[in-house]
Amino acid sequence: MRGIKSSTTFVKRLFQLLKVEKTTNRLYFKYQKTPYTMFRYGIDTLTVTKVLAIARGNLKAILTQKAIDKVMLCRKKVETIANSNKAVYGINTGFGPLCDVQISPEETSKLQENLLLTHAVGVGKPIDKELSKIMLICKVHALCQGFSGIRLKVIEHILFFIENDLIPVVPEQGSVGASGDLAPLAHLFLPLLGEGDFWVGTTIVQAKGILKKYQLSAIKLQAKEGLALINGTQFILAHAIKGLYSMKYLLNLADLAGAMSIEGYKGSASPFKKALHTIRPFKGTLKVAKRMRMLFKDSENIMSHEDCDRVQDPYSMRCIPQVHGASRNAYYHLKKLTAIEMNSVTDNPIVLSETVAISGGNFHGQPLAMALDYAALAASELGNISDRRCFLLLEGKYGLPRLLTESGGLNSGFMIPQYTTAALVAENKSLCFPPSADSIPTSLGQEDHVSMGSISGRKFNQILQNIEKILAIELLYAAQAIEFRRPLQCADIVEENHKLIRSKVAKLEEDRLLKDDIQAMIELVKNRKFRVK
């Protein structure tokens, strides 16, 4: 890489660019008002929050001398093995069913280059640019653990891409999640060879031209490097990270939507009392019950009918802690497994010494695939129960007019948006089939059990996008229902969110085009404008 003479000068150059100073054991960017700590690849623990902060430019990630030493030491081990007569998979042999063919040292570079070229067979639309960037970040962190045997020069090139927001274009389809995400990762690293494409802003540009613009030479891969790049679970992992980020907010938003629907329905707050849930103390259930109590705190509307003669509310109202809580439990499980995967080494073979390189299965996507399928089901249920609450608000019970309009007949009111929530719920149900339950052998049977985790990750995020729309419509309904409870006031947090909705969508007095109202609500959800805690 031009301008980087050695690993040491590379680190120095990064620090010069950052212009940082050490104060009370924290690093401060001089051009930022807020203090940040540095993230050190291969040394520190990666989290969902940190990955997204790095991807969005809010946290600086660097390569330290300690990580450099680990990378270079492992590279020496690979070179020793590559020059020996012993056949070691992926270093001096072919791949997959050709693992029994030994490759000469002279042919090693061509073998590694062919690996990327032949595996870049993905199809379909490109994944979101941020997902590709997350993949790069997670791959660098894994390579810097010091078990992959890749040269420092290759890592430096990848870091250059990240630092300059040169993000490779990756098709969404083609991975079976077994030897890792072979096709997506091959596309991700084609630009190292001067092949493939980059995102430049929102435009797709050929890699050759970009490398020329930045005066970068194409990398000539050496022993083990191609395999280190394309073996791994970073495609599955990136979708898990992005999904967890979305699901966390939507879990909180679902609680808010449920609380606002109960306010509009004049439902009971009794099912959320602490004493009820401490005798069945699932973590998610306890969390949701506590949040519901917070969302009803000091509500005049709730207190106004505490002594009414209604015995109980339908399940979609009173079972919110149990249903939303179960979805939270799935979120917690996926978060725990994703944290492990983010800080693991998932390529193959794993280089342990100058004589030992184990060809195992750390690249297999099953650990995340099954959890992603579980989380997809959990996310889908948030929409399922939300649609039921929408239906209840339209029935015309307990002082609410049918279809939430006082002039029904001439006006349809809010009849039809519930058709949309029903359609989205049905779509989510169809997306809940677990891809990890299936396996289609590949590589002439050498890879005879695969995880299909890439499909699990993609479907998880599709479901979450539908949940955004379903909850947006429930919040629209709930805001309308609350209008019929005036002048009674709800809890402060509910009133604050009701005011936010009314800043974008007026109370429905008579029929109008609802498309714009629904879209305005979806934008509020997507942009995280609701106060959820």
Chain-wide mean pLDDT for the chain?
91
Asked whether residue 48 is domain-assigned, the answer is yes
Residues 79 and 222 in one domain: yes
pLDDT digits (tens, 9 = 90+) for 470-487: 999 999 999 999 999 999
Are the beta carbons of 264 and 501 closer than 8 angstroms?
Answer: no
Pairing of strands 61-62, 39-40: parallel
Residues 257 and 219 in one domain: no
Give one DSSP letter per residue of 80-145, joined into a string.
HHHTSSS--TTTSB--GGGTTSB--GGGHHHHHHHHHHHH---EEEEPPHHHHHHHHHHHHHHHTT
Residues 189 and 288 in one domain: no
More confident residue, 359 or 67: 67
pLDDT given at position 216: 95
Distance CA 353, CA 203 (A): 44
For 334, the domain range is 239-345+361-439+450-526
Asked whether residue 64 is domain-assigned, the answer is yes
Distance CA 503, CA 311 (A): 36
pLDDT digits (tens, 9 = 90+) for 148-184: 999 999 999 999 999 999 999 999 999 999 988 999 9
Alpha helices in 191-272 (DSSP H): 207-213, 225-230, 234-265
CATH code: domain of residue 334: 1.20.200.10
Separation in Å, CA 133 to CA 57, 159, 359:
11, 11, 28
Are the beta carbons of 3 and 10 closer than 8 angstroms?
Answer: no
Strand partners, 203: 200
Sign, Cα dihedral of 147, 150, 153, 157: negative
Residues 203 and 151 in one domain: yes
Asked whether residue 355 is domain-assigned, the answer is no
Residues 435 and 494 in one domain: yes
Residues 172 and 266 in one domain: no
Residues 276 and 223 in one domain: no
pLDDT given at position 306: 84
Residue 232 pLDDT > 90: yes
Residues 206 and 296 in one domain: no
CB atoms within 10 A of CB 6: 10
Asked whether residue 468 is domain-assigned, the answer is yes
Give one DSSP letter per residue of 94-111, joined into a string.
--GGGTTSB--GGGHHHH
Are the beta carbons of 433 and 216 closer than 8 angstroms?
Answer: no
Are the beta carbons of 242 and 109 closer than 8 angstroms?
Answer: no
Catalytic residue annotation: 89
Asked whether residue 166 is domain-assigned, the answer is yes
Longest dimension (CA), the chain: 87
182, 199, 232 — which closes off a domain? Answer: 232
Model confidence, pTM: 0.91
232, 264, 291 — which closes off a domain? Answer: 232
166, 201, 232 — which closes off a domain? Answer: 232
pLDDT given at position 307: 80
Are the beta carbons of 193 and 221 closer than 8 angstroms?
Answer: yes
Distance CA 271, CA 259 (A): 12
487: preceding bond cis by omega (within 30 degrees) = yes
CA-wise closest residue to 182 among 131, 132, 232: 232
Residue 351 pLDDT > 90: yes
Residue 242 pLDDT > 50: yes
pLDDT given at position 91: 78
**Identity (one letter) of the amino acid at 474?**
E
Are the beta carbons of 184 and 171 closer than 8 angstroms?
Answer: yes
Asked whether residue 370 is domain-assigned, the answer is yes
CATH code: domain of residue 200: 1.10.275.10
Are the beta carbons of 391 and 474 closer than 8 angstroms?
Answer: no
Element (H, E) at 315: helix 315-318
Distance CA 64, CA 72 (A): 12
Residues 227 and 249 in one domain: no
Residues 120 and 58 in one domain: yes
Confidence band, pLDDT 50/70/90 cuts, at residue 446 = confident
Distance CA 486, CA 478 (A): 13
Are the beta carbons of 188 and 168 closer than 8 angstroms?
Answer: yes
pLDDT digits (tens, 9 = 90+) for 283-332: 999 999 999 999 999 999 999 988 887 889 999 999 999 999 999 999 99
321: preceding bond cis by omega (within 30 degrees) = no
Q: Which position has the token pair 């790049």?
A: 229
pLDDT given at position 3: 41
Asked whether residue 531 is domain-assigned, the answer is no
Residues 185 and 294 in one domain: no
pLDDT given at position 95: 62
Residues 65 and 24 in one domain: yes
Distance CA 258, CA 269 (A): 11
Confidence band, pLDDT 50/70/90 cuts, at residue 45 = very high
Are the beta carbons of 289 and 421 closer than 8 angstroms?
Answer: no
Are the beta carbons of 472 and 254 closer than 8 angstroms?
Answer: no
pLDDT digits (tens, 9 = 90+) for 203-217: 999 999 999 999 999
Quote the number of domains for the chain: 2
Which structure tokens are listed for 286?
A: 């306890």
Asked whether residue 352 is domain-assigned, the answer is no
